[in-house]
């Protein structure tokens, strides 16, 4: 399925804030706003035809100015979001073009993605219906009991850590969100939601660290990775 794909980049909400409540996406990272790096990856992916940026209501004008400054030609619209990630995604969905059949979701607080990763995730979703960036855990995981004493050892060779972006057929995403709303759930994980409606998700291995910026030391690591 060679579906027209748009990205939805979320820059607001609790999942995109540091512990202090500061919006990560608008902080400086090596001379550029954090969300510049995500939009750059989407801009250079040949699989992405357009991008919707979802930001805090008070940041709409600032986001527009930055997009114009950086020359992001694929950004079609900037819309106001809400506190939850998937609540913001739903706001973004209202702005996608009528010909869009697939969306690629990403929180801008993970700036160390590449256009190649975005493209591979979209290609995986076109083949399977949905796909997500991920990394093998490997090694052994330990479960503990009282006093942090090791209780069990688990072989993690078959386990993966979910990352972002996540791409999905638009109709599947709408179906998953509708099912969550019917159950009065507050979705945090699209892969879990898709599982609940019996839809498969292809995992796309990401060989690079995919840091979620949460504290100052994360910024130091991100600068080194983006250098």
pLDDT digits (tens, 9 = 90+) for 21-36: 678 889 899 999 999 9
Is there a domain that residue 19 lies in?
yes
Assign 17 a pLDDT band (cuts: 50, 70, 90).
low
The SS3 assignment for 107 reads: strand
Is there a domain that residue 33 lies in?
yes
**Does this model's pTM top 0.95?**
no
Is there a domain that residue 144 lies in?
no
CATH number at residue 170: 3.90.550.10
For residue 143, pLDDT over 60 is answered with yes
Share of the chain above pLDDT 70, in %: 95
Instruction: Look at phi and psi of residue 22 and say left if phi exceeds 0, alpha if psi is from -120 to 50, else beta.
Output: beta
Is there a domain that residue 64 lies in?
yes
Find the helix or strand (DSSP H, E) in which 202 lies: strand 202-205
Q: How far apart are CA 162 and CA 108, in angstroms?
A: 16
For residue 44, pLDDT over 70 is answered with yes
Mean pLDDT rounded to a whole number for the chain: 89
pLDDT value of residue 86: 85
What's the average model confidence in pLDDT over 114-129? 96
Share of the chain above pLDDT 90, in %: 59
What's the average model confidence in pLDDT over 160-183? 92
Is there a domain that residue 146 lies in?
no
Work out the angle between the directed axes of helices 60-70 and 34-43 (0-180°, nearest 10).
Answer: 60
Is there a domain that residue 138 lies in?
no
Query: What Å distances lie between residue 185 and 90, 125, 178, CA to CA?
Result: 14, 24, 10
Is there a domain that residue 194 lies in?
no
Residues with Cβ within 8 Å of residue 184, at least 6 apart in sequence: none
Is there a domain that residue 154 lies in?
no
Q: Give the domain extent around 171.
A: 5-130+164-188+209-226
Give how many domains the chain has, as a whole number.
1
């Amino acid at each position: 399925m060679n579906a027209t794909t748009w990205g939805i980049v979320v820059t607001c909400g609790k999942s995109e804030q540091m512990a202090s409540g500061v919006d990560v996406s608008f902080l400086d990272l090596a001379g550029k706003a954090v969300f510049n790096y995500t939009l750059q990856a989407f801009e250079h992916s040949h699989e992405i035809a357009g991008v919707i940026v979802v930001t805090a209501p008070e940041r709409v004008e600032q986001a527009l100015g930055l997009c114009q400054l950086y020359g992001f030609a694929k950004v079609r619209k900037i819309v106001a979001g809400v506190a939850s990630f998937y609540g913001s995604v739903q706001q973004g969905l209202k702005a996608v073009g009528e010909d869009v059949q697939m969306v690629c979701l990403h929180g801008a607080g993970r700036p160390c993605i590449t256009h190649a990763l975005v493209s591979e995730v979209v290609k995986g979703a076109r083949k399977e219906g949905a796909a997500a960036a991920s990394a093998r855990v490997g090694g052994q995981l330990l479960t503990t009991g009282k006093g942090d004493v090791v209780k069990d050892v688990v072989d993690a060779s078959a386990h993966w850590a979910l990352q972002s972006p996540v791409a999905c057929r638009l109709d599947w995403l709408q179906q998953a969100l509708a099912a969550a709303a019917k159950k009065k759930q507050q979705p945090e994980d699209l892969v879990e939601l898709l599982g609940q409606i019996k839809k498969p998700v292809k995992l796309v291995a990401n060989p690079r660290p995919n840091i979620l910026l949460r504290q100052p030391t994360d910024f130091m690591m991100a600068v080194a990775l983006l250098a």
